[in-house]
Structure 1
Amino acid sequence: MTVTKNSLSSNRAFVLHPGGTFTFEQREIPALESDRDVLVRIVATGLCGSDVHYWQHGRIGRYVVEAPIVLGHESSGVIVKCGKNVTGLRVGDRVMLEPGFACNICHYCRGGRYNLCEAMRFAATPPYDGTLAKYYRAPSESCYKLPQHISHRDGSLIEPLSVAVHSCRLAGSMQEKSVAIFGAGPVGLLCCAVAHAFGASTVVAIDIVASRLATASKYGATHTYQMSTESSDRNAQDLVASIGLEYGVDVVLDATGAEPCLACGIHALTRGGTFVQVGLGNPTPTVPVGQICDKEVVFKGSFRYGPGDFQLAIDLLNSCRVNVDGLVTHEFSFDRAEDAFKNVVSRVGIKSVIYGPDVDEYEAKKRSD
């Protein structure tokens, strides 16, 4: 069964313009570009820090908002149209979107690192439109069926959960190791959950905001630490002492990108430990290189997610080894999309989600079971 274009309603979109203003627009319904494409009606979209950054600053590194763009890339929805060669999916399936489409033929793609593809078309990264619209076209291989017990609202968390999975996999084996995670926002808390699922014996959530640490134990943290205004090395000493580690932390994941967190994490690492940079902040921070060399630290950058990360994220949810209940604290109708952006800037709650045009709240929260 397929749905013809004529039976679909207009494609309402929430558009960011250069300079930081938003408008609602009626756009063309995306056409399928190949026989393996699907058209998805967007039900729920989580707001990411990158979306807010494009709104407030107009760029992230070399990606600049030079023309109107639709933001949003953490989306779940329902398939409404399938190309004739699509297999494993059908109209009516509830899916989560992997929002990056690689070329599949370059050196990086063929080497199993498609997240590094230079021809990547990533939703809501200029010049490519994102998912804050009624309809979005995607290759069928970028669509994953939602587990029956996961709602569309919570399904929008699979994309940031995949970021957490990728960064934890980069850190290597976490079995019976101590892991410190800087930042108790959505990605940081999901890193806690994944580290716990990967067998870490100690998982420390670290933030400067006490209220953000209050729920960290629900997502796998065994300890919390509120950073002070003391120096990074003093914070590191206090952190290590507070959790009773003799030599330091085995693994550090920094989901903030803040220079004090980066420095504190390196000081807190044990000799031979591993540091993974997950969040982005100042692109040229001051780094304690002497500590990195003296301890022979392994320092890695983490970029989005790669082969197997999305499926593993879904498997962790499906097996209930990761629980995302309660991470979405604020929900907005499509008409209130700008309010959602303002809410994220105010740092209220944990995760904000925008429902698609004409989406009923019951549909977004309903589970298949």
Structure 2
Amino acid sequence: MRAAVLHTDLTLTVEDRPVPDPAPGDVLIAVTAVGVCGSDVHYLRHGRIGDFVVEAPMILGHEAAGRIVAVGDGVPASRIGERVSIEPQRPSPSSAETLRGEYNLCPHMQFYATPPVDGALAEYVTIGAAFAHPIPDEVSDEAAALLEPLSVGIAAVRKAGIEPGGSVLISGAGPIGLMCAQVADAAGATRIVVTDLDAGRRAVADRFGATEAVEAGTDPGEGFDAYIDASGAASAVRAGLRAVRPGGRVVLVGMGADELALPVSLIQNRELWVTGVFRYANTWPNAIALAAAGRVELDAMVTSRFGLEQAEDALNADGAQGAIKAVVHPGVARIESDTHDRRH
């Protein structure tokens, strides 16, 4: 098979790799769509994220969908042919975290495209059968791949405790911020304010759930039930803390500095709940239901498409005007530039 491989010198090549065999309990998936995530871009440009360092060649990509083409022992052959969205995780089934339902926190986790685990920018991948989620006809292949970042939004909104009629401030109108806004809207929030430095992203935020979009650094208002940071900017986090009502919740999703100064007295005096989000757990059923019912827009977030041979171009598409989400189709070598449409 063909696969996009990141090397330790931060070069990316598309090369031949053996087609993986499905182990017992696994399925083999022909990959149809892979979304490009900021973490993929970060590995390409910097070779590391925190303690995760690229020390050997690695296939990138973890937002993926495809079709099951073979199964390992113990998996019904009837699953062959299913269209699936891939939850790109392999937790230990016996860890304390997995057993209490928080498998995303499993210390033995093998996660796609996190060193040294290969990801999905390839023609075929394997995953545990339970983590290959069947999708209905109403959900496109591209939308099925984007159920992964949607799951981050679901995890964040759950942590934020957003209820019908509630309010939330979201910093960052990139893909994750827009996913959070859409999920908050689906959860019944009636005040969803999104901030971003980029005027173009602010201009489209209302299509993806925001009731208001304001320039980062300006006063977004106050009294919010929750604040979700999808920017990673220290100044945004501190402003968000001050915008939340007493007893409100603060959820940190964006990846920024390892450490930052926080107004501890404010957190104490207002009894704010401050937490983080690390990936997701038990989100795919909700993500599929939201996408199938049309309660979130996923296809509209795709602003460019690439074949596998153009994987490096896809990873660098984040700088294009109006870019939100690039998608690679591994079964296609190249997609002509006139089909790299922008839908906004």
With structure 2 as the length reference, what TM-score do the two structures score? 0.94
> In the alignment, which residue of structure 1 is the partner of 2:11?
21
> In the alignment, which residue of structure 1 is the partner of 2:167?
178
TM-superposed CA distance for 1:87, in Å, is: 3.9
Please say if residues 192 and 210 of structure 2, whose CA atoms lie closer than 8 Å, have aligned partners that are also in contact.
yes
Q: Matches of 2:299 and 2:328 in 1, distance apart?
A: 17
1:141-180 correspondence runs (5 A): 141-180=130-169
- Pairs aligned (count): 338
SS at match of 1:326: helix
| Aligned-residue CA RMSD (Å) | 2.0
TM-superposed CA distance for 1:259, in Å, is: 0.8
Q: Matches of 1:188 and 1:113 in 2, distance apart?
A: 23
Change (3 A) 1:33 1:133: same
Aligned pair partner of 1:53 in 28, 42, 45 = 42
Q: Which moved more, 1:177-186 or 1:143-152?
A: 143-152
* Structure 1 residues not aligned, in runs of 5+: 1-10, 229-234, 241-246, 362-369
Percent of aligned pairs sharing the same letter:
41
Q: Matches of 2:209 and 2:76 in 1, distance apart?
A: 37
Q: Deviations over 1:35-58 (max 9, x none)?
A: x21100111100001111111111
Counterpart residue type for residue 236 of structure 2: C
1:187-202 correspondence runs (5 A): 187-202=176-191
Check if 1:353 corresponds to 2:324: no
Q: Matches of 1:32 and 1:325 in 2, distance apart?
A: 30
Counterpart residue type for residue 228 of structure 2: L
TM-superposed CA distance for 1:170, in Å, is: 1.1
Please say if residues 89 and 140 of structure 1, whose CA atoms lie closer than 8 Å, have aligned partners that are also in contact.
no
Q: Matches of 2:34 and 2:214 in 1, distance apart?
A: 31
> In the alignment, which residue of structure 1 is the partner of 2:212?
223
Please say if residues 142 and 299 of structure 2, whose CA atoms lie closer than 8 Å, have aligned partners that are also in contact.
no
SS at match of 1:215: helix
TM-superposed CA distance for 1:323, in Å, is: 2.2
* Structure 2 residues not aligned, in runs of 5+: 336-344
SS at match of 1:214: helix
Change (3 A) 1:97 1:130: same
Larger CA Rg, structure 1 vs 2: 1
> In the alignment, which residue of structure 2 is the partner of 1:312?
286
TM-superposed CA distance for 1:359, in Å, is: 6.8
Q: Which moved more, 1:110-119 or 1:22-31?
A: 22-31
Q: Which moved more, 1:320-329 or 1:338-347?
A: 338-347
1:1-369 correspondence runs (5 A): 11-34=1-24, 36-87=25-76, 90-228=79-217, 235=218, 238-240=219-221, 248-307=223-282, 309-345=283-319, 348-358=322-332
Q: Matches of 1:28 and 1:165 in 2, distance apart?
A: 35
SS at match of 1:271: strand
Q: Matches of 1:219 and 1:173 in 2, distance apart?
A: 17
Q: Matches of 1:60 and 1:54 in 2, distance apart?
A: 7
With structure 1 as the length reference, what TM-score do the two structures score? 0.88
TM-superposed CA distance for 1:327, in Å, is: 0.3
Please say if residues 310 and 334 of structure 2, whose CA atoms lie closer than 8 Å, have aligned partners that are also in contact.
no
TM-superposed CA distance for 1:347, in Å, is: 6.7
